Amino acid sequence: MHLASRTVRRAVAAATLALLATAVGCAPQPEAKSSATAPGSAAASCVKGKQATKTPGKLTIATDEPAYEPWFKDDKPANGKGFESAVAYAVAEQLGYGKDKVVWQSVPFNKAFAPGVKTFDFDINQVSISTERKKAVDFSSGYYDVRQAVIALKGGKAAEAKSIADLRGLKLGAQVGTTSLDYITDVVKPKQDPAVYAKNDQAKSALKNGQVDAVVTDLPTAFYITSAEVTNAKIVGQFENQGGTPEQFGLVLDKGSALTPCVSGAVDALRKDGTLARLDQRWLSDAVGAPVLK
């Protein structure tokens, strides 16, 4: 009797489990969320005006001080004038932040792409995208294709240089941490160490005072310097892009920032709809025509 009872109980339990399994298997199940809309995904974090910014509802943009022309105008990044100021506001608009929601912050050039947590959402300051810098920070898609140029005083030793070889025996200078300095050391390979300056203003003063024979800057800056700041200087020439790919300026973000795909998407949209080209034409249209140094 005892054995039969146990056998019955086991049969009932097995039947009950089978029924429960069937019920669970037939019950409506919640739909799995797609990766495109799951919390933390690029699509979810790029909702206009609701991204994970440093200050909720605001977009903090950084650049150096002073802010030079033609990238900014009157040393006032917030006025929307100058190529990079205009690009910054266009990106902000794409992200869903109007001009009244943008907060500007001063950050030195070198500090913008140094390792460490950033106080800004993105930095815009003629920072060239490079593999080395990508180890410490994120970059957006490139917003400007740039070349480097050589500036010298008219009548000076560097003024008549026609080739890279003609520059090798000269004293050259550039701002610290820049691609301009890289071009001196890696492309020109001068016989004497280049002069290195914390700011472009110091490099310009050194050129004026004859402490260097020539300085290297990006091409639009070179055109501005020679037309408005050191008018007795000339652009000797520009360098070809190295490695077959154009050098590009990119917006700088925290390493691994959730904003990176959003900001890159904004830059890509501005390139696609012609906004970047129009801003280039408006603010940088004079930066053409310098001979190429080979």
What CATH class is the domain 47-144+248-286? Answer: alpha beta
CATH of domain 148-239: 3.40.190.10
Record the tokens describing residue 62, joined without a space.
């950084």
Same fold, 47-144+248-286 and 148-239: yes
What's the burial of 44, exposed, middle or buried (CB within 10 Å: 0-12/13-18/19+)?
middle
* Burial readout 89-126 (b: 16 or more C-beta within 10 A, e: otherwise): bbbbbbbbbeeebbbbbebebeebbeeeebebbbbbbb
Residue spans of alpha helices (H) in 57-122: 83-95, 109-112
Residue 271: the pLDDT is 97
Q: Please state, in angstroms and rounded to a whole number, the distance separating the CA atoms of residues 187 and 168.
A: 10
DSSP E strands: which ranges in the chain?
59-63, 102-106, 122-123, 138-146, 148-153, 172-175, 195-197, 214-218, 233-239, 247-253, 292-293
Is 102 in contact with 49 (CB distance < 8 Å)? no
Q: Give the predicted TM-score (pTM) of the model.
A: 0.77
pLDDT confidence of residue 40: 39
Collapsing DSSP to helix, strand or coil, 274 comes out as: coil
Select from 272, 236, 241, 263 the least CA-distant residue to 147: 241
pLDDT of residue 243: 72
- Pairing verdict, β 148-153 and 214-218: antiparallel
The full set of domain ranges for the chain reads 47-144+248-286, 148-239
Digits of tens for pLDDT over the chain (294 positions)? 443 343 334 443 443 333 333 333 333 333 333 333 333 344 448 999 999 999 999 999 999 999 999 999 999 999 999 999 999 999 999 999 999 999 999 999 999 999 999 999 999 999 999 999 999 999 999 999 999 999 999 999 999 999 999 999 999 999 999 999 999 999 999 999 999 999 989 999 999 999 999 999 999 999 999 988 999 999 999 998 877 678 999 999 999 999 999 999 999 999 999 999 999 999 997 655 688 999
Rounded Cα–Cα distance for residues 234 and 217 (Å): 12
Closest alpha carbon to 146 in 241, 68, 235, 216: 241
